[in-house]
């Protein structure tokens, strides 16, 4: 597929990389780049050779938010019928997405980062939700996901008090998995994705589904959901192979089915 605002590649076998590439606007998310990102994620999701996806921007900016120039010309009714506001396409990606975040991750950029399954940040990463300064509020999960990640008090300060979280603060608050120097964060994210991609993919998919349910369901319903996926895993050839390989003291050969 031909893209204008993103780049895609397979840096190592099993890993798909999606890179936001709109440097003149610090990767601000307009309708086109957002559509291209979701198209590329879906293409890697359907690709049987890919086991995990890395989503990144530039060293200077993952994304400085939704495109303010585009939003300044729109209105509520247009937004409601515009698929720019429907980010559920990203929620439906079944393979793990590892965000490699450097520089600005503001507004919609922070929200898109938080929709990833794991985050690897550079030391220069800055996470913020400055929408209030534009007279609006976060619209792609910021009030919900940031609050769940770092707690109410810190989330309130980020959204109301014009405070960006540094990479170190994001790490301490549990928003990101790891922080590395800007020279290595992307490679580290690719390494993590490669490790995930080497795991049996049906089990990986079932785990991603169940962990995401933990953010939505009560404990009893969540445990029921987990148990169903657990039983489902016992229907896979990889379960047979994984346990046989353990007993035979050899490396498993995954079939991803």
Q: Which is nearer to ligand CO8, 120 or 140 (CB)?
A: 140
CA angle 42, 44, 47 (to 5 degrees): 110
- Are 171 and 126 spatial neighbours (Cβ–Cβ below 8 Å)? no
CA dist., res. 60 & res. 42, Å (int): 26
CA angle 17, 19, 21 (to 5 degrees): 160
Q: Does residue 66 have an active-site annotation?
A: yes
**Exposed, middle or buried: residue 150 (CB in 10 Å: 0-12, 13-18, 19+)?**
buried
Minimal distance, residue 204 CB to ligand CO8, in Å: 28
Q: Does residue 78 have an active-site annotation?
A: no
**CA nearest 34: which of 22, 52, 23?**
22
CA dist., res. 168 & res. 211, Å (int): 24
Q: What are phi and psi of 98, to 5 degrees?
A: -110, 115
Minimal distance, residue 19 CB to ligand CO8, in Å: 17
Minimal distance, residue 131 CB to ligand CO8, in Å: 5
**What binding mask, one character per residue, do residues 124-143 give for ligand CO8 by CB under 6 A, x or -?**
------xx--x---xxx---
Q: Does residue 111 have an active-site annotation?
A: yes
Q: Which of 66, 105, 167, 175 is in the footprint of ligand CO8 by CB under 6 A?
A: 66
Which residue in 40, 63, 66, 210 is the catalytic one? 66
Minimal distance, residue 67 CB to ligand CO8, in Å: 4
Binders of ligand CO8 among 83-112, rule CB under 6 A? 85, 87, 104, 106-108
Q: Does residue 131 have an active-site annotation?
A: yes
The binding site for ligand CO8 (CB under 6 A) comprises 25-26, 28, 64-69, 85, 87, 104, 106-108, 130-131, 134, 138-140
Catalytic residues: 66, 108, 111, 131
């Amino acid at each position: 597929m031909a893209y204008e605002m993103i780049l895609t590649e397979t840096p190592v076998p099993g890993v798909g990389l999606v890179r936001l590439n709109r440097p003149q606007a610090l990767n601000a998310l307009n309708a086109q780049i957002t559509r291209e990102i979701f198209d590329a994620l879906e293409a890697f999701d359907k690709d049987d050779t890919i086991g995990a996806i890395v989503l990144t921007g530039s060293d200077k900016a993952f994304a400085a938010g939704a495109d303010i120039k585009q939003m300044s010309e729109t209105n509520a009714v247009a937004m409601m019928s515009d698929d720019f506001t429907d980010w559920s396409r990203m929620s439906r990606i079944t393979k793990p997405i590892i965000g490699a975040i450097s520089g600005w991750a503001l507004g919609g950029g922070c929200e898109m980062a938080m929709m990833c399954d794991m985050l690897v940040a550079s030391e220069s990463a800055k996470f913020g939700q400055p929408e209030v300064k534009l007279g609006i509020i976060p619209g792609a999960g910021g009030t919900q996901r940031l609050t769940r990640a770092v707690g109410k008090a810190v989330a309130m300060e980020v959204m109301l008090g014009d405070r960006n979280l540094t990479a170190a603060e994001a790490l301490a608050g549990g928003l990101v998995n790891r922080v590395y120097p800007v020279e290595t964060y992307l490679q580290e994210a690719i390494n993590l994705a490669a490790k995930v991609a080497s795991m049996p993919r049906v089990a990986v998919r079932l785990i991603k589904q169940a962990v995401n349910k933990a953010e939505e369901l009560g404990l009893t319903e969540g445990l029921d959901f987990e148990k169903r996926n657990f039983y489902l895993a016992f229907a896979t050839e990889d379960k047979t192979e994984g346990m046989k390989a353990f007993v035979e003291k050899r490396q498993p050969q995954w079939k991803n089915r």
